[in-house]
Amino acid sequence: MVPNDKSHIDVNQPEVNLVPYQATANDVEPYLNLVNGQLPKTLDQLRKTKPEEIAKVSRYDSRDYHIVSPVKDQGREGLC
């Protein structure tokens, strides 16, 4: 496809121009650091933790924060 080819655009839809979001000091909360290498207790605290800090932890499980559900018995079907 040619980058400027607009033949695939739906003429009934308005054209949208996206502008990158620029964060400012007022809307960026400071990151939390892990205390004694322990993960935060709540999802809200986890979201405020530096990804580099989370990567240092020896064990992380999204189920602890209810981000994903526990494994379920799929019966004899074995379907996901």
Q: How far is residue 56 from each of residues 6, 29, 51, 63, 72, measured CA to CA in Å?
A: 47, 21, 9, 18, 29
How confident is the model at residue 25, as a pLDDT?
Answer: 56
Distances (CA, A) of 64 to 18, 28, 30, 57: 36, 26, 23, 14
pLDDT for 50: 85
pTM: 0.47
* Intervals of the chain under pLDDT 70: 1-30, 78-80
Query: What pLDDT score was predicted for residue 73?
Result: 78
CA distance 32 to 12: 46
Confidence (pLDDT) at 16: 63
* Runs of H (alpha helix) within 1-80: 43-47, 51-55
pLDDT of 22 reads 61
